[in-house]
């Protein structure tokens, strides 16, 4: 497996820009434009929240109609354009129209994304300025592009992976934003992935859906599913490498999985007020879905997250959360381990703290030493079947409450 590069040099045929259009009060970048010189096949995964933001509704419509002619994605931060009704939908369309004018393409070739405060209308004058500025700034500054979509994120999230094949090399690159309102339900944030490989639309959609399921859908910051979650994959074929046979598709899928998991973990690491990165390995659950459900319930529990924050090995809360997850769970047949770090070597689980329905005779000081680490892994063996899932989550801190008690001011 090729390694993830935590930056993006360039991706054949794509140009990007991230600028300050005036939506953020502090002068930070708040508008991002991603453009392909040629038509892209575009796959998308969107929030399952019944309250879908206007840009989500517009993109779903575009991808249902013309998913193979996409040329640009225009994204603003600081305003989600959600809960904005017909006015919001008009503004989303107007954004695409302005982008099409600026780039001399058709409006149907433009997708839009928004993130930020819910319930405010898009300031269209600033959107217009963002388009003018970013068109003049198009190039390969992907870090600026990743910065333009940030809200409470403290750093841009970007990465790329280069795959060398007998037919040539191609790159998959992506940016993402997260920070809050992060809970798994199809997509859980904004992310744009681009590749210069050539894929059919069904293959691109299948690869994106599968990768999202194993990455963005397996992270929890706070249990709230956003109105704006969108993950897009644009493929323009610029490298000339065609991904169509099974072996090539498997290789592409593996690379896309690695990249999306990297970006998803970056979202957790930079979650609002996060001080600890926690990996939940749920093994031997009744099914993979059950393992995922148990891990997500543990990851969303504020009691559990508070204990992570306090470096308290209060494992009873983990077992209690597993018990209310709605999946089959039998405490007497379950075991729980805790270890420092992440991505533990195969077969290593660390300190066993719970077994046969009751605590082991572990020493509290040993558990406390592990809990004090910035990265912790819990392995929960459900003893029921062969279902496994890894969920990446974090603690909840005073800082989270401060950020979200005062978000709009």
Tell me the catalytic residues: 188
- Residue closer to its own copies, measured from CB, 161 or 179: 179
202 counts as binding its own copies under rule CB under 8 A: no
Backbone angles phi, psi at 344, to 5 degrees: -60, 145
Residue of the chain from 34, 45, 56, 80 that contacts its own copies (CB under 8 A): 80
Q: How many of the other CB atoms lie within 10 Å of CB of 303? A: 13
Least Cβ distance, residue 86 to its own copies (angstroms): 7
Bridge partners (DSSP) of residue 387 are 285
Residue of the chain from 227, 293, 377, 393 that contacts its own copies (CB under 8 A): 227
Residue of the chain from 136, 139, 240, 359 that contacts its own copies (CB under 8 A): 359
Backbone angles phi, psi at 294, to 5 degrees: -65, -45
Residues that bind its own copies (rule: CB under 8 A) add up to a total of: 72
Under rule CB under 8 A, which residues in 231-260 are in contact with its own copies?
none
- Residue closer to its own copies, measured from CB, 51 or 343: 51
Instruction: Give the pairing type, strands 335-340 and 168-177.
Output: unpaired
Give the DSSP H or E segment for 39: strand 31-46
- Residue closer to its own copies, measured from CB, 35 or 220: 220
224 counts as binding its own copies under rule CB under 8 A: yes
Q: In 270-397, which residue ranges form alpha helices assigned H by DSSP?
A: 288-300, 302-309, 315-323, 364-371
Q: What is the largest CA-CA distance in the chain?
A: 70
Name the one residue in this structure whose structure tokens are 């433009």.
110
CB-based contact 350:335 (threshold 8 Å): no
Least Cβ distance, residue 110 to its own copies (angstroms): 23
Distance set, CA 123 to CA 8, 111, 135, 180, 229 (Å): 31, 18, 19, 23, 21
Helical axes 85-103 vs 54-65, angle rounded to 10°: 60
Residue of the chain from 26, 332, 346, 347 that contacts its own copies (CB under 8 A): 332
378 counts as binding its own copies under rule CB under 8 A: no
CB-based contact 373:340 (threshold 8 Å): yes
Least Cβ distance, residue 301 to its own copies (angstroms): 5
51 counts as binding its own copies under rule CB under 8 A: yes
Residue of the chain from 26, 50, 104, 345 that contacts its own copies (CB under 8 A): 50
CB-based contact 30:211 (threshold 8 Å): no
- Residue closer to its own copies, measured from CB, 102 or 325: 325
CB-based contact 234:257 (threshold 8 Å): no
Considering only the stretches 4-12, 37-45, 283-291, 304-312, report the one whose residues sit in contact with its own copies under the rule CB under 8 A: 304-312
CB-based contact 295:264 (threshold 8 Å): no
Instruction: Give the pairing type, strands 351-355 and 387-394.
Output: unpaired
Q: How far apart are the C-alpha atoms of 256 and 237, rounded to whole Å?
A: 16
Distance set, CA 152 to CA 10, 12, 19, 272, 404 (Å): 26, 31, 17, 7, 10
377 counts as binding its own copies under rule CB under 8 A: no
CB-based contact 289:396 (threshold 8 Å): no
Under rule CB under 8 A, which residues in 382-401 are in contact with its own copies?
396-398, 400-401
315 counts as binding its own copies under rule CB under 8 A: yes
- Residue closer to its own copies, measured from CB, 200 or 311: 311
Residue 90 exposure: Cα atoms within 13 Å on the Cβ side = 7
Considering only the stretches 76-84, 144-152, 159-167, 252-260, report the one whose residues sit in contact with its own copies under the rule CB under 8 A: 76-84
217 counts as binding its own copies under rule CB under 8 A: no
Least Cβ distance, residue 344 to its own copies (angstroms): 23
354 counts as binding its own copies under rule CB under 8 A: yes
119 counts as binding its own copies under rule CB under 8 A: yes
- Residue closer to its own copies, measured from CB, 25 or 50: 50
Considering only the stretches 28-36, 205-213, 220-228, 242-250, report the one whose residues sit in contact with its own copies under the rule CB under 8 A: 220-228
Under rule CB under 8 A, which residues in 263-302 are in contact with its own copies?
300-302
- Residue closer to its own copies, measured from CB, 118 or 256: 118
Least Cβ distance, residue 9 to its own copies (angstroms): 37
Residue of the chain from 38, 106, 155, 324 that contacts its own copies (CB under 8 A): 324
């Amino acid at each position: 497996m090729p390694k993830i590069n935590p930056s993006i040099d360039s991706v054949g045929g794509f140009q990007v820009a991230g600028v300050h259009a005036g939506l953020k009060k502090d002068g930070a970048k708040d508008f991002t434009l991603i453009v392909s010189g040629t038509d892209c096949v575009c796959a998308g995964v969107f929030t399952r929240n019944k309250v879908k933001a206007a840009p989500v509704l517009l993109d779903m419509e575009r991808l249902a109609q013309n998913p193979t002619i996409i040329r640009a994605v225009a994204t603003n931060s600081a305003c989600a354009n959600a809960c904005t009704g017909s006015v919001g939908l008009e503004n989303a369309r107007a954004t695409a129209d302005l982008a099409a004018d600026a780039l001399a393409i058709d409006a149907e070739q433009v997708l839009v994304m928004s993130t930020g405060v819910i319930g405010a209308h898009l300031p269209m004058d600033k959107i217009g300025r963002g388009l003018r500025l970013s068109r003049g700034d198009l190039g390969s500054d992907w870090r600026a592009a990743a910065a333009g979509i940030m809200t409470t994120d403290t750093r841009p999230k970007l990465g790329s992976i280069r795959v060398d094949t007998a037919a040539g090399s191609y790159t998959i690159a992506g940016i993402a934003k997260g920070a809050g309102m992060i809970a798994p339900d199809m997509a859980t944030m904004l992310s744009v992935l681009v590749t210069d490989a050539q894929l059919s639309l069904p293959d691109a959609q299948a690869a994106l859906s599968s990768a999202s399921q194993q990455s963005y859908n397996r992270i929890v910051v706070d249990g709230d599913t956003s109105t704006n979650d969108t993950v897009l994959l644009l493929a323009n074929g610029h490298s000339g490498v065609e991904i169509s046979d099974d072996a090539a598709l498997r290789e592409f899928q593996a690379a896309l999985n690695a990249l999306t998991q990297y970006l998803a973990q970056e979202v957790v690491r930079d979650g609002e007020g996060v001080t600890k990165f926690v990996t939940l390995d749920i093994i031997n659950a009744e099914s993979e879905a059950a393992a995922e459900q148990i891990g997500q319930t543990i990851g969303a529990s504020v009691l559990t997250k508070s204990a992570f924050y306090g470096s308290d090995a209060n494992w009873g809360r983990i077992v209690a959360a597993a018990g209310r997850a709605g999946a089959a769970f039998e405490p007497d047949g379950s075991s729980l381990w805790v270890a420092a770090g992440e991505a533990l070597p195969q077969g290593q689980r660390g300190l066993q703290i719970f077994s046969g329905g009751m605590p082991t005779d572990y020493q509290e000081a040993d558990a406390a030493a592990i809990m004090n680490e910035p990265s912790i892994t819990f392995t929960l063996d459900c003893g029921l079947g062969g279902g496994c899932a890894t969920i990446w989550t974090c603690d909840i801190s005073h800082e989270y409450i401060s950020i979200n008690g005062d978000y709009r001011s």
